[in-house]
Amino acid sequence: MNRTLLSALLFLGFSVSAYAEPVTINMWRHETGDDEVNANKAAIERFNASQSKYKVVYESLPKGSYTQAITAAALANNLPCIFDMDQPTVPNFAWSGYIRPLDAYLDARLKKTINAGGKGEFRGKLYSVGQFDVALGIFARKSALSKAGIRIPSAAKPWTLEEFNAALSTLKASGDWEYPIEIHNGYDGEWWTYAFSPWLQSFGGDLLNPKDLTEAEGTLNGPAAVKFGQWFQGLFAKGYANKKPADDQAFLLGRVPLDYTGSWAFSDFSKKWGSDLVVLPPPNFGKGPKIGAASWQWGISTSCKNPEGAAAYINFMMSPKEVATMSDKTSLIPTTTGAAPLTKDYNSKGKARFYYEFSKRFAVSRPATPGYPFVTSTFEKAMRAIVQGANVQDTLDDAVDLIERNIKDNKGYGLN
């Protein structure tokens, strides 16, 4: 009797599942703030409800070890259909053959509307797209600047190196602040390259020779780079910035008048300081202000059995309405020209429109080479040594040697 019951149940189970079950598309994302997770969850629900062919199921992975987790999954041939990647790691995945080009899958009209900050490319092919970008800027307290008689710069007329130095020294000398600026050197990992390689580029140096991305001699340790390194070291030696910040709350708690960080802090900071808050463009150190481009983006794995389903979701996600909703819910910068006018903060009269302008005017991508993980790790180590007072020329020379040997070991990463 038991057996008949069991088979009846099994039959019932099978017949239910066989009835027009949508194809499951697995997706991984790294853990982020609640706003972003919820906005993403809502978008997935909208997609699942909009059609009956596919069903996107997502899994959230811890942020700290996320890139290692997807690397391990790639090696074990266990990648989900869709997953998010930090844009500079995209060429590495593409070179290794774990993600597929999106050109054939993405709606051609949609593709044309995506800004540089929303695309991950390698050797002329598009491999990843992102709904949002972030931008860097210097948050400042208007009251502190006007009290010290410092000019408030604009995107059209940013501070020069001399003006920036003078501003820091005036603020320090006023005695109101132990440190005039917070640059978040307490963060680990990618922040260092994301935040400080644009400064290096504004000085006239670069991480790699931009022509071929296979050598660093003369660009990462050339005179402009050394000038940048010495200036950067001076920020700490002169007591303008804290060598070892305890947390990232210095600006929020009123311990510093200037804070160099990304647009993600905008809503918290404006809640706290209201009309006293002003966001300044990064200084022009010689070659114009520069900020990092591109944030986390979505790609489709080569092992995905239903790329059409994955592509349907990505097309859905990149539609102007979806991108705009994401931006409204998270206050992140939209990456498509179609979405920007639909957003609350980034339409032509929005209160954060300037970030959209910063992104468009100043954003530079990190080098699109599969060797990027090594380059960024080496750059971070070199910058940390410089903060601690190491000889700038020697440190940068060593970094160049390490990077060039790594490129040689990897046979040029398929770039030459």
Partner 1 sequence: MTTPTFESTNVHPTKPRKKNSFPDFKSALWMSAPALLGLFVFIVLPFLLAILFSFSNQRLMSPNPTEFVGFRNYDRLLSVRMLTLQPEKDEAGKILLDETGQPTYPRIRSVLRSDENLREFKELFTVSLFGQRTAVVAKDPIFWIGLLNILKFSLMVVPLQCGIALLLAFLINQKLPGMQVFRTIFFSPVVTSMVVIAIVWTFLYDRQVGLINQMLSALSFGHIAPIDWLGEEKIALLSIVIMSAWQGMGFQMVVFLAGLQSIPEELYEAAELDGAGGWQKFRFITLPGLRNTLNFVLTTTTIGALGLFTQVDVMTQGGPNNSTVTVMMHAVRSGYQEQDIAYGSTISVVLFVLVLLIALVQRRLSMGGQR
Residues within the interface to partner 1 (CB under 8 A): 68, 71, 74-75, 92-93, 95-98, 178, 188, 242-244, 246-247, 370, 373-374, 377-378, 381, 384-385, 387-390, 394, 397-398, 401, 405-406, 409-411, 414
Is the CB of 95 or the CB of 232 nearer to partner 1? 95
Is the CB of 265 or the CB of 383 nearer to partner 1? 383
Is the CB of 316 or the CB of 374 nearer to partner 1? 374
Nearest approach, Cβ of residue 134 and partner 1 (Å) = 22
Nearest approach, Cβ of residue 114 and partner 1 (Å) = 26
Q: If residue 277 lies in a helix (H) or strand (E), which one and from where to where?
A: strand 277-280
For residues 164 and 141, is the Cβ–Cβ distance under 8 A? no
Helix, coil or strand: residue 258: strand
Strands 82-86, 296-300: pairing is antiparallel
Q: How far is residue 202's CA from residue 372's CA, in Å, rounded to a whole number?
A: 20
Is the CB of 351 or the CB of 384 nearer to partner 1? 384
3-state secondary structure 315-367: HHHCCHHHHHHHHHHHCCEECECCCHHHCCCCCCCCCCHHHHHHHHHHEECCC
Q: Count the neighbouring beta carbons within 10 Å of the beta carbon of residue 12.
A: 10
Is the CB of 327 or the CB of 376 nearer to partner 1? 376
Q: How far is residue 396's CA from residue 378's CA, in Å, rounded to a whole number?
A: 10
Nearest approach, Cβ of residue 197 and partner 1 (Å) = 17
Nearest approach, Cβ of residue 5 and partner 1 (Å) = 35
- Collect all residues with Cβ–Cβ distance below 8 Å to 156 and sequence separation of at least 6: none
The two tokens of residue 63 are: 């942020």
Tell me which residue has tokens 């032509």: 348
Nearest approach, Cβ of residue 125 and partner 1 (Å) = 15
Is the CB of 279 or the CB of 383 nearer to partner 1? 383
Listed residue (51, 20, 115) closest to 313, CA to CA: 51
Distance of CA 83 to the CA centre of its chain: 15
Is the CB of 80 or the CB of 373 nearer to partner 1? 373
Nearest approach, Cβ of residue 111 and partner 1 (Å) = 26
Is the CB of 162 or the CB of 188 nearer to partner 1? 188
For residues 62 and 267, is the Cβ–Cβ distance under 8 A? no
Nearest approach, Cβ of residue 128 and partner 1 (Å) = 16
The angle subtended at Cα 202 by Cα 289 and Cα 397, nearest 5°, is: 160
Nearest approach, Cβ of residue 193 and partner 1 (Å) = 12
The angle subtended at Cα 271 by Cα 268 and Cα 274, nearest 5°, is: 130
